[in-house]
Structure 1
Amino acid sequence: MKQLAGLDASFLYLETPQMPMHVGALHLLELPAGYDGDYIEDLREHMRARMPLLPALRRRLVAMPLGLSNPGWVDAEPDLEEHIVEIPLPEGSGMAELEAQVGALHPVLLDRSLPLWKFHVFTGLEPSPEGQQRVALYTQLHHAAVDGQAAVALAQVILDLSPEPRPIDAIAARGKKRGQLGTVGMLRAAVSQQWKQTVKLARSLPSAANILGSMAMGYAGGAAAGASIDKLRNLLSDVASQTTAVVRGKTAVSSLGPAPRTRFNVSLSDTRSFSGVTLPLAELNRTRKRHHASVNDAVLFVIGGALRRFLTKHGPLPRKSLIAAVPVSTRAAGDTTSNNQATMTFMSLGTHLGDPSERLAHVMASSKAMKAQMSQLKSLMPTDFPSLGIPWLMQAGAMLYGRAKVAEKLPVVANVVISNVPGPQLPLYLAGAKMLTNYPTSIAVHGLALNVTVQTYNQSLDIGLMACGEAMPETAEFAAYVEAAFMEFQALPVAEVVEAEPAPVVKKAAAKKAPAKKVAAKKMVAKKAPARRRAAAAA
């Protein structure tokens, strides 16, 4: 038995019928020409062959005695008849029917007595324009087992680069089998785990203190690390306080303090509305490079523009910018462990700005400022911690939070969750069928009734829009606004946008005045640069 880390287990404790904690995707699949088999059976056989390489799908939960600490994983052979099911749709069904099915199925909780995953195969879809058969697949994986990057790693094992599935080595080992311990053994394991977690947390404290001390020194301009509690408090406030951009000679300051209250900042019902939208990745890259923006900047700009359009129609559009909660991966390169390694930051979307050029500059400045802070702070976010008594507290708190509608009473920290997960750039195949789409289906939580998750796939940007069915039933309309905001992004002229540079962190004694000639040279370069960009754009 292996106990869950604190972050992984929290997704179990926070789960309620109103707040399911599984993630997945909606895939449209095209069957090979002339296919006359049974795709559900073919998929089951395919998954059966891959199971030796999928330990995350071959384990189930076992509770600790009296629920005193985090549950553990034990090996369990999945019954593929239970985990891969067919859902026949009326003949000629399309994307609208598939999206409605995802909205209906997403609130259904996974059975915790089984491995925490399920595949729904939809048949009866309209054929492709060339007449080829199509099916669809909606996957569910509990967030206690995987985060976005871990799900991508699972997909790399399940999917193939050609219609012909690659052979799986017969020597692929399942690893040491984890069985269920007796009550005494589980109590012993729980105490041992608590001790390890406590020691690990204690060992991380000096490093965390050093990081905070260094940041405090930088903030104070070289003052002593313990100069002032107020300065440290100001530092932590600045992590989520403000970003500055210089746009056409004007300074725009956005506060990342309390966000404005919107229709998304409510307690959830047990209904969901879902829609998917695809954007061309090549065109998005061409456009963002003209503006020296990152893919994440472009995504935030497009979603912010769609939110501005949506709230302009359905109202009210707040005078203050909407704030996005943005998950940030802390996973090391090459780490494919099936667990959660992520933290959260906050980004201003500039929705209060009517001029799209100003809004893009606002987003880019907000992104730059937050990245500078997160490079230091993300190492402070623990993914494991002592859990004695935590299951009772978190489960009771989650139920009370929803029933008492606490989300409507607390100050608003963010308005929407926007997540960007890198994915494969080649066409992939599942049990011989070509995967055409990869729309993520993620989690809406109390107080954040809209989740926008983006994943790149095969030169496209596939976007999944998951919302509370009562707070935002109009996800299909919002999808159209995403496409409109993308067209606005494409048409955006290259403007003279200069981001404000952060003040250099130097000790007072080491600070030197730059020679006048160098300053003059920098000013001359700054004046010529926009002209070069305009000439390049015109060419």
Structure 2
Amino acid sequence: MEQLAGLDASFLYLETPQMPMHVGALHLLELPAAYDGDYAEDLRAHMRSRLPQLPALRRQLLGMPLGLSNPGWVDAEPDLNAHIVEIALPEDSGMAELEAQVGALHPQLLDRSRPLWKFHVFTGLAPGPEGQVRVALYTQLHHAAVDGQAAVALAQVILDTEPEPRSTPATPARVKKRNAPGTLGLLRTAVSQQLSQTVQLARQLPGAAGQLGQMAAGYVGGATLDKLRGLLAGVASQTTAMVSGTAGLSQLGPAPRTRFNVSLSDTRAFAGVTLPLAALNRTRRSHGASLNDAVLFVIGGALRRFLAKHGPLPRKPLIAAVPVSTRTAGDTTSNNQATMSLMSLGTHLADPAERLAHVMASSHAMKAQLGHLKRLMPTDFPSLGIPWLMQAGALLYGRARVAEKLPVIANIVISNVPGPPVPLYLAGALMLSNYPTSIAVHGLALNVTVQTYNESLDIGLMACGEALPETGELAAYVEVAFMEFQSLPVAEVVAQAPAAGKPPRAPAKKKPATAAKAAPRARAGTPRKKVAAARQ
């Protein structure tokens, strides 16, 4: 048995019916010409052949006595008829029907008595432009088992680069089950883990203190005693913010309260949108921006238009909570290795060139801090009694609507996960799109997750169905903001950009916008149109 690390187990303790803690994606798939089979059954056969190389999908939870510490993973053999299910949609269904299905299925919690994953196969979709048969797949993987990059590693095993699935090692598909330890054995394991976690945390503290000292020495140089005290106070504040998950708050200040900063209902609204990756990269390189900068600018522009129409548009910039991976290169372990940073979206700035310069400066400043501090965030820690405390806290937080009472740290979550640069196949079907589906939490009712795939940038908007039912409209504004990004003159952005490493300049005193600058163009009504647009 392998006990869960503290960060992984946290996703179990925080899960409630209003806050499901699984991630996944919505995939549009195109079947081979003249296909006349049962794709759900073909997918089960495909997964059966790949399961020996997918340990994360062949394990289930085993709780500790009295729930005193983190549960463990034990070997399990998935029932593929329960883990891969078929859902027949009305004939000629399109993207709108798929988005509605994801919104309805996402709040359904995964069965903890089974391995924590489930695949939904949708049939009945409209055919492709040349009559190709199409299906869709909505995947669910619990965040206790994988983070974004670990999910990408799983996909590398499941997917193929050719229509014909590659041969896999001749390993028996059946899992050799081990006897679960008894109560006494579980207690011994729990105590052993507590000691190991405590020792590991104690070993990290001197190195963390030394790193903070080096940072202080590097920044101070010939500073006076007063400046030194100010710097150390700032470092202490930043370190506290990192430990509490609010990194960057000391620099950015509290975020404005918006319709996204509320307690969640048990409903979800989902929308996907595709942007052409080549055009996005060409534009962002011309401005000296990173892909993250471009994503933040486009999402910020969409939010500004949406709030300008529906109101109110805050005078202060919206703040995005941005997950940052701490995973080392080559690490494909199926667990969570990430921390969180805060980025300003510059939504208070009407001028798009000034807004892009603001986003780039904010991103540069945060990266400089995280380069030193992200390794200080522990992913494992002693857990004795933590399950009771976190589960009770999560329930109370939602029922008491604490999110409406506390200061706002961030307004939304924006995550960017690098994906495969080539077309991929699943059980012989070509994957046309890959819209991520992620987690909304109390106080952050909108999650925007972005993943590159082949020639596209696929974006998934997951929101509380009561706080933001208009995800489709917001997705249309994402396309409008992308067109605005493409039309930006390079010279204007360069002129607005502050010197590297300096904070974004103070917001201009302008009247808040009262109407959107541009109405969103109609969204594609079928998957066929969306994929065609992505290929242009």
Matched, 1:231 2:231: yes
Q: Which residue of 2 aligns with 1:532?
A: none
Is contact 1:216-1:225 (8 Å) kept?
no
1:265 aligns with one of 261, 268, 276? 261
Q: Which residue of 2 aligns with 1:115?
A: 115
Q: Which residue of 1 aligns with 2:515?
A: none
SS of the residue aligned with 1:23? strand
Matched, 1:196 2:193: no
Matched, 1:345 2:341: yes
SS of the residue aligned with 1:436? strand
Q: Which residue of 1 aligns with 2:160?
A: 160
Q: Which amino acid aligns with 1:295?
A: L
Q: Which residue of 1 aligns with 2:498?
A: 499
User: Residues of 2 paired with 1:295 and 1:327: CA distance?
Assistant: 15
Is contact 2:70-2:387 (8 Å) kept?
yes
Matched, 1:378 2:371: no
Kindly state the Cα deviation for residue 314 of structure 1 after the two structures are TM-superposed: 0.7
User: Residues of 1 paired with 2:465 and 2:369: CA distance?
Assistant: 35
User: Residues of 2 paired with 1:279 and 1:179: CA distance?
Assistant: 50
SS of the residue aligned with 1:499? coil
Kindly state the Cα deviation for residue 255 of structure 1 after the two structures are TM-superposed: 5.3
Note the residue ranges of structure 1 that are not aligned, 5 or more in a row: 242-253, 504-539
1:168-202 CA-partner distances (Å, limit 9, x unpaired):
01158999865411000000000001000000000
Kindly state the Cα deviation for residue 232 of structure 1 after the two structures are TM-superposed: 1.9
Q: Which residue of 2 aligns with 1:466?
A: 462
SS of the residue aligned with 2:372? helix
Q: What TM-score do you get using the length of structure 2 for normalisation?
A: 0.89
Pair 491,340 (structure 1): closer, same or farther in 2 beyond 3 Å: same
Matched, 1:286 2:282: yes
Is contact 2:76-2:175 (8 Å) kept?
no
Q: Which residue of 2 aligns with 1:51?
A: 51
SS of the residue aligned with 2:433? coil
1:256-335 matches, within 5 Å, as 256-335=252-331
User: Residues of 2 paired with 1:95 and 1:397: CA distance?
Assistant: 37
Q: Which residue of 2 aligns with 1:456?
A: 452
User: Residues of 1 paired with 2:49 and 2:418: CA distance?
Assistant: 27
Is contact 2:75-2:175 (8 Å) kept?
no
Kindly state the Cα deviation for residue 231 of structure 1 after the two structures are TM-superposed: 3.3
Q: Which residue of 2 aligns with 1:411?
A: 407
Instruction: Indicate the percent of aligned positions where both proteins have the same amino acid.
Output: 79
1:380-399 matches, within 5 Å, as 380-399=376-395
1:496-535 matches, within 5 Å, as 496-497=494-495, 498-502=497-501
Is contact 2:83-2:118 (8 Å) kept?
yes
Kindly state the Cα deviation for residue 233 of structure 1 after the two structures are TM-superposed: 2.1
Q: CA RMSD in A?
A: 2.0
Kindly state the Cα deviation for residue 223 of structure 1 after the two structures are TM-superposed: 5.4
Pair 174,193 (structure 1): closer, same or farther in 2 beyond 3 Å: farther
Matched, 1:357 2:357: no
User: Residues of 1 paired with 2:112 and 2:181: CA distance?
Assistant: 18
1:408-447 matches, within 5 Å, as 408-447=404-443
User: Residues of 2 paired with 1:449 and 1:227: CA distance?
Assistant: 40
Kindly state the Cα deviation for residue 230 of structure 1 after the two structures are TM-superposed: 4.9
Pair 176,127 (structure 1): closer, same or farther in 2 beyond 3 Å: same
Q: Which amino acid aligns with 1:70?
A: N
Q: Which amino acid aligns with 2:96?
A: A
Q: Which amino acid aligns with 2:63?
A: A
Q: Which amino acid aligns with 1:468?
A: C
1:174-193 matches, within 5 Å, as 179-193=179-193
1:429-467 CA-partner distances (Å, limit 9, x unpaired):
000000000000000000000000000001100000000
Is contact 1:107-1:272 (8 Å) kept?
yes
Q: Which residue of 2 aligns with 1:524?
A: none
SS of the residue aligned with 2:324? strand
Note the residue ranges of structure 2 that are not aligned, 5 or more in a row: 242-249, 503-536
Q: Which residue of 1 aligns with 2:127?
A: 127
Structure number with bigger Rg = 1
Is contact 2:52-2:171 (8 Å) kept?
no
1:123-150 CA-partner distances (Å, limit 9, x unpaired):
0111001101100000000000000000
Kindly state the Cα deviation for residue 217 of structure 1 after the two structures are TM-superposed: 2.7
User: Residues of 2 paired with 1:228 and 1:177: CA distance?
Assistant: 59
Kindly state the Cα deviation for residue 331 of structure 1 after the two structures are TM-superposed: 0.4
Pair 84,471 (structure 1): closer, same or farther in 2 beyond 3 Å: same
Q: Which amino acid aligns with 1:198?
A: T
Is contact 2:364-2:501 (8 Å) kept?
no
User: Residues of 2 paired with 1:240 and 1:135: CA distance?
Assistant: 48
Q: Which amino acid aligns with 2:116?
A: L
Kindly state the Cα deviation for residue 256 of structure 1 after the two structures are TM-superposed: 1.0
Aligned positions, number: 491
Matched, 1:480 2:480: no
Kindly state the Cα deviation for residue 236 of structure 1 after the two structures are TM-superposed: 4.4
Matched, 1:85 2:81: no
Is contact 2:51-2:173 (8 Å) kept?
no
Q: Which amino acid aligns with 2:218?
A: G
Q: Which residue of 1 aligns with 2:506?
A: none
User: Residues of 1 paired with 2:421 and 2:240: CA distance?
Assistant: 34
User: Residues of 2 paired with 1:4 and 1:417: CA distance?
Assistant: 25
Is contact 1:274-1:467 (8 Å) kept?
yes
Q: Which residue of 1 aligns with 2:68?
A: 68
